[in-house]
């Protein structure tokens, strides 16, 4: 039996409609999948861009703080900085103590700032963040381990506390929330017993070392070595500090 032309036309139209619907659904699904992939890619790129921008913003002050601290530790061990300047005059004695305390505190301050800023970003498994966190932990442990002599020992909680009191809030219209107080402000704050109490042990340690011709410096050496690791990470191309100024204490 031969179908009428109009029936054949209707069947063909129905088949075309079904095929068109299938193609449309497939196309919509593919577009949705592509849009989802693009959205995830943009989210990942945005997160990484924020991390890079954040690290770029804080890298320089953190690097300067690490350089200043490692330089002071190097001079304490290799050039007898404490013994030399502590006994020259009262003003030089005060500077020797207060500036040494400051370069230690400033480092903890910038570490605390970076820790607070980074916690608001979803950093994922970025290798940069993992390595930086590892370097911070190594320095924290060098300061805090009880396997070395107690001179210059600061436990983790003490390090965090010093970092906290070194912070200064910035105005709300600025891109970052904190900065570290300067040396003049630090010296002024040392007249406040609540502020100064966090530095009592360090101050005693500095005076002990300044009055001894020879002291055990293994902790200082360990801290210095870990700081050099951090500097190498933050300045791998020697833009800010030359290799000759990264000599490790033997």
For 37-93, what is each residue's pLDDT tens digit?
Answer: 777 677 665 666 665 666 667 788 999 999 999 999 999 999 889 988 888 899 999
- Longest Cα pair distance anywhere in the chain, in angstroms? 121
Q: Is residue 51 part of a domain?
A: yes
Nearest to 210 by CA among 92, 79, 83, 84: 83
CA 104 to CA 65: how far, in whole Å?
Answer: 8
CA 202 to CA 152: how far, in whole Å?
Answer: 6
Domain that holds residue 91: 45-246
Q: Which pLDDT value is given to residue 21? A: 74
Q: Is residue 159 part of a domain?
A: yes
Q: Which pLDDT value is given to residue 210? A: 92
Give the chain's domain count. 1
Q: Is residue 69 part of a domain?
A: yes
How wide is the angle at C-alpha 84 spanned by C-alphas 80 and 87, nearest 5°? 140
Q: Is residue 6 part of a domain?
A: no
Beta carbons within 8 Å of 229's beta carbon, 6+ residues apart: 135, 138
Q: Which pLDDT value is given to residue 122? A: 46
Q: Is residue 191 part of a domain?
A: yes
Lookup: tokens for 112 = 């605390």
Q: How does DSSP classify residue 153? A: -
Q: Is residue 30 part of a domain?
A: no
Nearest to 74 by CA among 194, 227, 231, 189: 227
Q: Is residue 217 part of a domain?
A: yes
Q: Which pLDDT value is given to residue 121? A: 46
Q: Is residue 169 part of a domain?
A: yes
Q: How does DSSP classify residue 244? A: G
Give the residue ranges of the chain where pLDDT is below 70: 1-4, 6-8, 40, 43-56, 119-126, 171-176
217-234 pLDDT tens trace: 999 999 999 999 999 999
């Amino acid at each position: 039996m031969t179908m009428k032309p109009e029936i054949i036309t209707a069947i063909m139209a129905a088949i075309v409609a079904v095929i068109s619907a299938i193609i449309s659904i497939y196309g919509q699904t593919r577009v949705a999948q592509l849009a989802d992939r693009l959205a995830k890619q943009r989210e990942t790129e945005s997160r990484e861009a924020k991390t890079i921008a954040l690290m770029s913003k804080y890298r320089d002050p953190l690097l300067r703080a690490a350089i200043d601290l490692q330089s002071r530790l190097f001079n304490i061990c290799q050039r007898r900085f404490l013994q030399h300047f502590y006994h020259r005059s009262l003003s030089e004695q005060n500077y020797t103590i207060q500036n040494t305390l400051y370069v230690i505190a400033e480092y903890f301050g910038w570490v605390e700032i970076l820790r607070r800023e980074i916690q608001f970003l979803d950093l994922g498994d970025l290798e940069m963040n993992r390595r930086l966190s590892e370097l911070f932990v190594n320095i924290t442990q060098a300061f805090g381990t009880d396997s070395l002599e107690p001179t210059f020992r600061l436990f983790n909680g003490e390090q965090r506390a010093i970092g906290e009191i070194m912070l200064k809030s910035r105005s709300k219209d600025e891109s970052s929330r904190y900065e570290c107080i300067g040396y003049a402000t630090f010296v002024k704050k040392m007249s406040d017993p609540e502020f100064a109490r966090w530095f009592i042990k360090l101050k005693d340690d500095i005076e002990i070392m300044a009055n001894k011709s020879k002291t055990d410096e293994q902790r200082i050496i360990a801290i210095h070595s870990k700081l050099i690791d951090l500097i190498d990470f933050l300045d791998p191309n020697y833009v800010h500090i030359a290799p000759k100024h990264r000599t490790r204490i033997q």
